[in-house]
Amino acid sequence: MSYCRIIIAGNVGRDPETRFTAGGKQVTNFSVAVSEKRGQDESTTWFRCTAFEKTAKVVEDYVKKGSSVLVDGRIASRKFTDKEGMERESWEVTVDRLQLMGSKPEGSQHTASRAAMNAQASDGFSGMDDDIPFFDTLGRVMWSVV
């Protein structure tokens, strides 16, 4: 057995889309743009991300277009032919872990505490003290969802 893992940090390109399987499991899809600058050149790679069940619910509730995220998951590529007949390749990530980066999103549906998000994702950190902030190395506030 073999598989590829990837960790990407980037910005969400459009609001996530949620659907449910025939068995009632939640699936949320979103895309993440990862930009890399080398000298004067800048390139952007898009990743299609799919989250399931509790992580899908957190993505639906807290992630929106423009959100900065860190995604850890399994990656696969898929080749397809676009509308113009050109061969294309798509990078698809099945999300295992998600971290929301940057400041807390504004708006009524984005006001839950980190503890509430952790409890929703059942990652075992729901009893942590909310007074202790979780920062990345650049000093940005982060939330972790497993």
Q: How many residues does the chain have?
A: 146
User: Tens digit of pLDDT per residue, the chain (146 long)?
Assistant: 666 889 999 999 999 999 999 999 999 999 999 998 888 999 999 999 999 999 999 999 999 999 999 999 999 988 989 899 999 888 899 999 999 987 655 553 444 444 444 444 444 444 444 433 444 444 444 555 54
- What's the CATH fold of domain 4-145? OB fold (Dihydrolipoamide Acetyltransferase, E2P) (2.40.50)
For 47-80, b where at least 16 C-beta lie within 10 A, e where not — what string? bebbbbebbbbbbbbbbbeebbbbbebebeeeee
Number of H helices, E strands in the chain: 2, 7
The pTM for the full model equals 0.68
Structure token digits, residue 87: 């061969």
Kind of pairing between the strands at 68-81 and 142-145: unpaired
- The domain locations on the chain are 4-145
* pLDDT number for residue 38: 86
Non-local CB neighbours of 83 within 8 Å, separated by 6+ positions: none
DSSP string, 45-97: EEEEEEEEHHHHHHHHHH--TT-EEEEEEEEEEEEEE-TTS-EEEEEEEEEEE
* pLDDT number for residue 135: 46
* pLDDT number for residue 106: 55
